[in-house]
Amino acid sequence: MVYYLPIQPFYNQSVLPTFLTSVPLLRDVLLREGVDVVHGHSAFSTMAHEAMSVASALGIKTVFTDHSLFGFADVSAIVTNNFLTMSLACVDRCICVSYVGKENTVLRASVPPQRVSVIPNALDTNAFHPRPYTGPRDRVVVVVMCRLQYRKGVDLQPPIIRHICARYPNVDFVIGGGGPKMGLLSEVRDEVGPERVTLLGPVAHADVPQVLARGHVFLNTSLTEAFCIAICEAVAAGLQVVSTDVGGITEVLPPSLICLAQPNVKSLCNALEGAIEREMAGTRMSPEEQHRLMRGLYSWPDVALRTERVYCSAMWDEQQPRPLLRNRINRYMEQGGLLAGGFMVLLVTLQALILALCDIFRPSNNIDKAPDFPVPATLSSKLVKTNASSRAIPPPTNEKRQAMKDNFRGVQCNADISNSGHEFEIIVNSRAKKFIGEKSHDSQALSRAVRLLDNANLCKKSVNTNASLKTDRKALDNEHKFKYNLRRRKNDCDY
């Protein structure tokens, strides 16, 4: 279900952070849908932070995903970090897309590390796959797909284009994306010729596979990246990838699938020349082999399953204090001190007043409840059989409740180290099956357990493809670092 709030955006589809005027609207949406967990994305999303704040005031669990890396020195980073510290003070769980991103979020937002989980982005390999090349066989095409702004390293691209076009007359560039740096690339296109450099402007995500099919090498010049899903899409589409070695990019792909360079013109030119030479000599890895390797790395069933485990952890967390106003005030004062903390206390106090007025003039029992979607036929028989007499079952005792929590923690992925110390086997052990067999008074919990079991079966297929990972602890080169990080992601002690 998608809701559109009547708030006017003022720049780049952004709205002013009022923090108070949207409270009645968000309250109606959360109560109407019977929301259990509110999941916000991006440190720059006003709607995400306001929704998480309203959810905390209503006693709803909150989860936040941070997708980017930020510095600590410039003015914008200082303001963003201070605001993020206040906003995440009452969030139950955080998700980062890489371990570098986790370290960055923990440092700049003062979030306890035990509340932060690492879940990488997922890739739809059915959409990104090798396609027949329809261009001239004697040309090599370098593709660039990014937002044309400073943090994407667009200032490095003009000298690279001039150098490569001067040295290789058979190399062309195709650049997709929009942004404030478009004028810089337009000047380079006019200098080297429009037949050598093609500017596509903004490209819809659905059209990205067709753009990648026009090229042989993908160039990424980002100055900071937490994950960079674009390089994964390019590898899955069969392109060689040349990228800057910044942020969490080292964790994303093994050295056999990516050529890393320092974020400067000379290093990027050397790496790009090597990729062009391999393409012309025919010594590169085949596109089909690249796609086969990518299919087992970042699958949606695995990411969805691990995200659901974070939701379950937030729901069953008893260490988090009750969402009373004084608990939130204490959190803000501890995190922000007198100035920032006092300002947030003023905001949440006004927010609590608005919610109290909403309870008087628009009680929750007057809000229409959204109907639940029907359970699929494959699951309904299981639910009906196990929940036939749920109305007659009294609420569980404390011992029973604890047993339910233990059984409902989802699929446990553990690392079993063999005697040699070099073979790591990923074992998927589903505990949801036992929970389904028990009678429960909560049909909603039963449906979640069934989804856990189905997702576990899907996860086994993707996990078993990478079930044996070899590493040499005495010589941790780039390939071993990637495999080590992959093992950590698959067997994260948190989630």
Q: Is residue 449 part of a domain?
A: yes
- Examine residue 394 and state whether it is found in any structural domain, yes or no: yes
Domain boundary (295, 324, 351) is at 295
Residue whose C-alpha is closest to residue 176's, from 195, 156, 204: 204
240 with 319, same domain?
no
Give the domain CATH number at 95.
3.40.50
271 with 159, same domain? yes
- Of 166, 202, 165, residue with least CA distance to 12: 202
Question: Domain check: are 154 and 189 in the same one?
Answer: yes
Q: List beta partners, residue 426.
A: 415
pTM score? 0.73
- Are 32 and 147 found together in one domain? no
Contacts of 159 (CB under 8 A, 6+ apart): 265
Domain total of the chain: 3
Last-in-domain residue among 241, 265, 295: 295
Are 157 and 259 in a shared domain? yes
The dihedral sign for the CA sequence 236, 241, 244, 245 = positive
Tell me the β-bridge partners of 143.
174, 218
* Cα–Cα distance, 300 to 236 (Å, whole number): 15
Residues 161 and 279 in one domain: yes
Residue 180 sits in the same domain as residue 269: yes
In 3D space, the residue among 169, 145, 37, 17 whose CA is nearest the CA of residue 79 turns out to be 17
Residue 128 lies in a domain: no
The three-state (H, E, C) secondary structure of 227-274, written as one string: CCHHHHHHHHCCCEEEEECCCCHHHHCCHHHCEEECCCHHHHHHHHHH
Q: DSSP letters of 44-71? A: T-HHHHHHHHHHHHTT-EEEEEE-----
Q: Tens-of-pLDDT digits for all 495 residues of the chain?
A: 888 888 877 766 677 777 778 899 999 999 999 999 999 998 888 889 999 999 999 999 999 999 988 888 778 888 888 889 999 998 999 999 999 999 999 998 989 999 999 999 999 999 999 998 888 888 999 999 999 999 999 999 999 999 999 999 999 999 999 999 999 999 999 999 999 999 999 999 999 999 999 999 999 999 999 999 999 999 999 999 999 999 999 999 999 999 999 999 999 999 999 999 999 999 999 999 999 999 888 889 999 999 999 999 998 876 665 567 888 888 888 888 888 888 889 999 999 999 999 999 999 888 888 887 765 655 444 434 333 333 333 444 555 445 544 444 433 333 232 222 332 222 223 333 333 344 334 444 444 444 444 444 444 433 333 333 333 333 344 555 555 555 555 445 444
Is 99 in the same domain as 194?
no
Residue 135 lies in a domain: no
Examine residue 323 and state whether it is found in any structural domain, yes or no: yes
Claim to verify: residue 229 and residue 358 sit in the same structural domain:
no
**Token pair 């090498």 in the structure block, residue:** 217
Q: Is residue 11 part of a domain?
A: no
Claim to verify: residue 277 and residue 172 sit in the same structural domain: yes
CA dist list (Å): 318 to 112, 323, 324, 373: 16, 12, 14, 29
The verdict on 429 and 340 lying in the same domain is no
Range of the domain at 77: 23-117+304-366
Instruction: Look up the CATH number of the domain holding residue 227.
Output: 3.40.50.2000
CB contact at 8 A, 143 and 174:
yes
Asked if the structure places residue 390 within a domain, the reply is yes
Which H or E run includes 96? strand 93-96
Domain boundary among 255, 277, 295: 295
Angstrom CA distances, 5 to 2, 9, 132, stand at: 10, 11, 44
Q: Within this chain, do residues 485 and 450 fall inside the same structural domain, yes or no?
A: yes
5 inside domain = no
